[in-house]
């Protein structure tokens, strides 16, 4: 089926998310929609899928205009979508999720025909080698398998156009390769695929046609043969370097020493299982791993946000486990949390107040019981300038800033104390390329100033670019610590739990 | 090779190892030991307890049985202790125990309690059948209320207004029944009152996104005010509008002749039979039917339901109205089904107990029934112990079943998880 979008415009208040976008997806092709986070790719697809109403423009299927008032219409017309956040009901089985909304039923009470649903899942799963058990419960499945369930869901509704929204964000490198294989298989079986992504490697690997979107507008199309640099500059709007410039590390004394750190959560699940490692001054240790393998618990345990059940951590010879968070912070730790809007800033407070959350009770911000508004404003202005926070004023609420500027506020606050150790969790998640460069530079600068740095990142590119050493975590353990020039396949296998020797 | 490793790989959020937990074992053991000391060793050695299991009207007359109190209470407590030990053994293997265990455990400890309470009273005896009959009867409004709550919360609407729906049902049943001079007409009117309350809740929750707990509480107060007003004005001035009506017991042929359980289960009035039907139908529909699958999807992940073409808010409104109707029907228990006239605030907090039964029953009709029966039993026990005059203040005795419930459920049934989207308005 041929899909065409003509002049699609979608506004949210004053903000134009999609500005007269034209798109043509030929039958049986893989069409990549390339753009940075916030460029308007997902909005466009939500318009197409009937989740949003377009303000202007029309959608044509096989040259006939169609109007979708809801996702049900889009699906009936043969469009399937795999959302970035999966639309799966967690306590349900695979078969129940696949049948939901178009169930096979028996009898006047419309009782579910689970056998038919299972058959359907098995049939599609076998056809594309998905290896999915129809009776598995979603919440027990790894993310990659959940994604395949989403694809089965779309295919079971006879989708001839499949939209994949940032499908590789949550996958290991191996799972990504598998998915790209699946995309090719689908195309060969006659399904058109629209691949929404900001990852150039994937685009080059599978796309037949590339449309680049920037700030809600189509800025060009490209052939998959274009180089990564060309695609990146089209996407960002200026020339970008794909590397982080940094000098070789000059590690000093051991700064952080972690021994057998163990965290058991409220549900009695061991999240961190006897982790030991060290980080030296002037060195970046990057922690790689698929999300949810204990990285969050590790960083939070070091800061003291979650309690530890065994093991110790010492900073510069001083014990930091079992002490108050405030103690730990002021013993020289900077902490950039993984969820910036939840844990990094107080969204409803001003930039100035966010910048002094940690030191509000100390000079120059406070004298006795009283805050010092002038000192607060002066310091805030200084920070905003230093960290290039793009804001109308320091009295603007932090929540109204873009992701990149919010992260700069967090960095400005955390780097304002003298640091022995900087812990940054996914410091560039959801940021545009410009902000990413900035954040990376500041992190490297902190290393060069002699701090030990721990970076947690789900993006292998980021890990490789920043790390002086890479620790790979799997199931709450460190599988191995390897040099940054280790090849991606080895890292990928380690992220899947294979030990270094087996992987290499 | 690559493929296989990646498949096994990112068990990301799932549990690597379940740690051992001894909480439930310890709780069960402590209660069993207390039971052994107080009920077992605390009973005089020579005394006996008489249990009456049949009534004169029964088809098959079972003899009463008398047991030596001390020995019986000790044996029952030891059974409880053994079950605690079994729990510990399973915990050591990191395995769960079945649902049978808390039930058997509860029966053993309750048995010990009853034996002790009835010890050495030659003139009085423990009326087992009577106890069970009134347990079921007292559980009726709780079951209907808990079913209503389950229906609403499975679709994602928190229904605190069960209390108000019961009261509205009780009121309208009495009013309409009195006007018609027929209890059954009142029974038909009751669900309408509950459904109206449910409709108001649904509209505020889905259209105006008002906090559902606040709306529920306000509705409860509103219904108390309204019914009290009409009670003290219209109904008091005109007694014909508020008559005590009753519904006849309808013994089911053959089934009602079964010893002990026959009269308990199958010699009841129409409302109780409706209850059996409601529990069975809802259990099947909620977990086996297309309707149930969609309702549960809406309560767990409304956006996922929306993306496959299910109308989230319509589902929620329908369920809340239907739930209100079921609670309203349960309200008929207080007036027409019990042969009483309407009285101010006569539901006396049963709606909130029903809410607890729903949670205890883990949002399933079957579980709601079991939990409501437990609470009904507690109520009946208090009445029975009060009647025979026990050595401990009745208030403390009445607490025992609740305590046992909390420990058994917290320890054994385990973590119960409400529908994920409960109480969260669905905004596009």
% residues pLDDT > 90 (chain A) = 51
**Tell me: the pLDDT tens digits for A328-343?**
999 999 999 988 888 8
Of A90, A101, A489, the CB nearest to B300: A90
Burial class for B121, CB neighbours closer than 10 Å (0-12, 13-18, 19+): middle
Give the domain ranges of chain A: 3-236, 254-332+417-503
Please give the C-alpha separations between residue A285 and each of A252, A314, A444, in angstroms, as whole numbers.
13, 16, 12
Torsion region of A225: left, alpha or beta (phi above 0 gives left; psi -120 to 50 gives alpha): alpha
- CATH architecture of residue range(s) A3-236: 3-Layer(aba) Sandwich (3.40)
Quick one: three-class SS letters along B389-416? CCCCCHHHHHHHHHHHHHHHHHHHHCCC
List CB contacts of A270: < 8 A, sequence separation 6 or more.
A262, A263, A264, A476, B16, B17, B19
Q: What is the pLDDT of residue B11?
A: 38
Mean pLDDT value across residues A70-75: 87
Mean pLDDT value across residues A430-435: 75
**Backbone dihedral angles phi then psi of residue A60, each to the nearest 5 degrees:** -125, 135
Closest to A68 in 3D by CA, of A149, A191, A161, A146: A161
Interface test with B, best of A77, A83, A87, A274 (most B CBs within 10 A): A87
A18-32, A34-48, B188-202, B308-322: the lowest-pLDDT one: A34-48
Please give the C-alpha separations between residue A329 and each of A272, A280, A371, A500, in angstroms, as whole numbers.
22, 18, 21, 34
Q: What is the pLDDT of residue B399?
A: 73
Name every chain B residue with its beta carbon within 8 A of the beta carbon of A71. 306-309
Interface confidence (ipTM) of the complex: 0.82
* Chain A nearest-CA residue for B12: A292
* Chain A nearest-CA residue for B310: A101
Fold of A254-332+417-503: Rossmann fold (3.40.50)
A143 to chain B, any CB pair closer than 8 A? The answer is yes
Q: What is the pLDDT of residue B407?
A: 61
Give the domain ranges of chain B: 23-124, 129-369
Q: Could you tell me the pLDDT band of residue A359, with boundaries at 50, 70 and 90?
A: confident
- CB of B394 closer than 8 Å to CB of B386: yes
Q: Which residues pair with B364 in a beta bridge?
A: none
Q: What is the pLDDT of residue B70?
A: 86
Could you tell me the sign of the dihedral formed by the alpha carbons of B375, B380, B384, B389, in that order?
A: positive
Distance between CA A255 and CA A424 in Å, rounded? 16
- A52, pLDDT greater than 70: yes
- A300, pLDDT greater than 80: yes
Quick one: three-class SS letters along A93-108? EHHHHHHCCCCCEECC
Q: Say if A3-236 and A254-332+417-503 have the same CATH topology.
A: yes
CB within 8 Å: A292 and B10: yes
CA distance A335 to chain B (A): 23
Closest to A272 in 3D by CA, of A291, A298, A290: A298
Q: Where are the alpha helices (DSSP H) in A254-330?
A: 295-303, 325-330
% residues pLDDT > 70 (chain A) = 98
Q: What is the pLDDT of residue B172?
A: 96
Residue at token pair 């219209």: B234
Q: What is the pLDDT of residue A361?
A: 85
**Tell me: the pLDDT tens digits for A364-405?**
888 888 899 999 999 999 999 998 888 888 998 998 887 788
Per-10-residue mean pLDDT of chain B, 428 residues long, equals: 36 42 80 87 79 66 78 90 88 75 82 81 74 90 96 96 97 95 94 97 94 96 96 90 89 84 88 96 96 97 92 96 97 93 91 90 91 86 74 70 63 70 87
């Amino acid at each position: 089926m041929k899909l065409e979008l003509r002049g699609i415009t979608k506004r949210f208040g004053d903000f134009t998310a999609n500005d007269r976008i034209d798109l043509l997806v030929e039958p049986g092709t893989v069409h990549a929609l390339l753009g940075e986070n916030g460029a308007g790719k997902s909005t466009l697809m939500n318009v197409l899928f009937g989740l949003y109403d377009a303000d202007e423009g029309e959608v044509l299927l096989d040259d006939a205009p169609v109007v979708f008032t809801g996702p049900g219409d889009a699906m009936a017309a043969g469009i399937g979508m795999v959302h970035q956040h999966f639309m799966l009901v967690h306590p349900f089985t695979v078969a129940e999720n696949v049948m939901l909304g178009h169930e096979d039923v028996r009898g006047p009470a419309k009782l579910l025909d689970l056998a038919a649903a299972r058959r359907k899942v098995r049939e599609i799963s076998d056809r594309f080698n998905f290896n999915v058990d129809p009776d598995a419960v979603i919440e027990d499945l790894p993310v990659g398998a959940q994604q395949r369930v989403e694809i089965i869901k779309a295919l079971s509704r006879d989708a001839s156009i499949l939209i994949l929204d940032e499908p590789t964000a949550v996958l290991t490198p191996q799972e990504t390769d598998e998915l790209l294989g699946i995309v090719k298989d689908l195309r060969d079986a006659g399904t058109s695929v629209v691949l929404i992504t900001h990852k150039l490697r994937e685009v080059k690997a599978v796309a037949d046609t590339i449309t680049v979107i920037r700030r809600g507008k189509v800025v060009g199309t490209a052939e998959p043969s274009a180089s990564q640099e060309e695609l990146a500059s089209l996407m960002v709007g200026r020339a970008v370097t794909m590397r982080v410039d940094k000098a070789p590390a000059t590690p000093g004394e051991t700064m952080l020493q972690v021994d057998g750190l163990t965290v058991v959560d409220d549900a009695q699940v061991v999240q961190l299982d006897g982790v030991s490692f060290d980080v030296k001054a002037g060195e970046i240790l990057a922690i790689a791993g698929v999300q949810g393998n204990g990285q969050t618990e590790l960083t939070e345990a070091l800061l003291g946000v979650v309690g530890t059940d065994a093991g110790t951590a010492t900073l510069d010879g001083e014990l930091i486990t079992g002490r108050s968070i405030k103690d730990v912070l002021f013993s020289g730790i900077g902490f950039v949390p993984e969820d910036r809007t939840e844990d990094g800033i107080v969204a409803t407070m001003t930039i100035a107040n966010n910048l002094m959350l940690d030191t509000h009770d100390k000079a120059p911000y406070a004298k006795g019981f009283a805050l010092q508004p002038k000192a607060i404003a002066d310091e805030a202005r200084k920070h905003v300038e230093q960290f290039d926070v793009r804001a109308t004023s320091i009295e603007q609420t932090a929540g109204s800033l873009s992701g990149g500027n919010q992260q700069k506020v967090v960095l400005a606050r955390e780097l304002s104390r003298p640091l022995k150790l900087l812990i940054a969790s996914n410091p560039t998640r959801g940021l545009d390329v410009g902000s990413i460069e900035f954040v990376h530079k500041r992190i490297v600068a902190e290393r060069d100033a002699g701090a030990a740095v721990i970076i947690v990142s789900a993006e292998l590119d980021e890990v490789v670019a920043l790390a002086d050493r890479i620790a790979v975590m799997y199931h709450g353990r460190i599988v191995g610590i390897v040099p940054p020039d280790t090849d991606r396949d080895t890292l990928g296998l380690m992220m899947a739990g294979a030990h270094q020797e087996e992987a290499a | 090779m690559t493929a296989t490793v990646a498949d096994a790989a990112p068990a990301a959020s799932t549990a690597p190892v379940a740690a051992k937990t001894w909480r439930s074992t310890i709780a069960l053991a402590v209660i069993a030991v207390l039971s052994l000391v107080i009920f077992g060793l605390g009973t005089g050695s020579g005394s006996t307890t008489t249990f009456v299991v049949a009534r004169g009207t029964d088809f098959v007359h079972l003899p009463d049985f008398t047991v030596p109190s001390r020995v019986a209470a000790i044996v029952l407590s030891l059974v409880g202790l053994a079950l605690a030990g079994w729990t510990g053994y399973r915990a050591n293997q990191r395995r769960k125990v079945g649902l049978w265990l808390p039930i058997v455990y509860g029966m053993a400890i309750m048995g010990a309690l009853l034996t002790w309470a009835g010890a050495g009273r030659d003139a009085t005896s423990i009326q087992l059948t009577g106890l069970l009959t009134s347990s079921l009867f007292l559980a009726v409004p709780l079951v209907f209320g808990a079913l209503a709550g389950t229906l609403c919360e499975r679709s994602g609407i928190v229904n605190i207004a069960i209390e108000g729906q019961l009261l509205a049902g009780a009121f309208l049943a009495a009013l309409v029944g009195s006007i018609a001079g027929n209890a059954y007409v009142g029974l038909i009117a009751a669900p309408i009152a509950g459904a109206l309350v449910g409709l108001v809740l649904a509209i505020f929750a889905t259209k105006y996104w008002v906090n559902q707990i606040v709306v529920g509480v306000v509705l409860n107060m509103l219904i108390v005010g309204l019914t009290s007003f009409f009670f003290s004005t219209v109904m008091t001035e005109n007694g014909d509008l508020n008559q005590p009506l009753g519904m006849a017991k309808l013994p089911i042929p053959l089934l009602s002749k079964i010893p002990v359980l026959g009269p308990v289960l199958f010699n009841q009035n129409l409302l109780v039979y409706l209850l059996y039907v409601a529990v069975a139908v809802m259990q099947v529909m909620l977990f086996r039917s297309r309707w149930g699958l969609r309702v549960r999807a809406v309560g767990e992940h409304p956006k996922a339901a929306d993306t496959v073409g299910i109308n989230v808010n319509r589902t929620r409104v329908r369920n809340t109205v239907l739930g209100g109707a079921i609670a309203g029907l349960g309200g008929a228990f207080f007036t027409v089904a019990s042969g009483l006239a309407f009285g101010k605030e006569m539901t006396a907090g049963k709606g909130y107990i029903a809410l607890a039964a729903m949670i205890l029953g883990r949002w399933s009709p079957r579980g709601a029934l079991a939990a409501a029966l437990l609470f009904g039993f507690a109520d009946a026990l208090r009445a029975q112990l009060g009647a025979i005059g026990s050595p401990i203040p009745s208030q403390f005795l009445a607490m025992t079943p609740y305590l046992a419930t909390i420990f058994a459920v917290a320890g054994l049934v385990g973590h119960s998880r409400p529908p994920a989207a409960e109480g969260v308005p669905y905004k596009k």
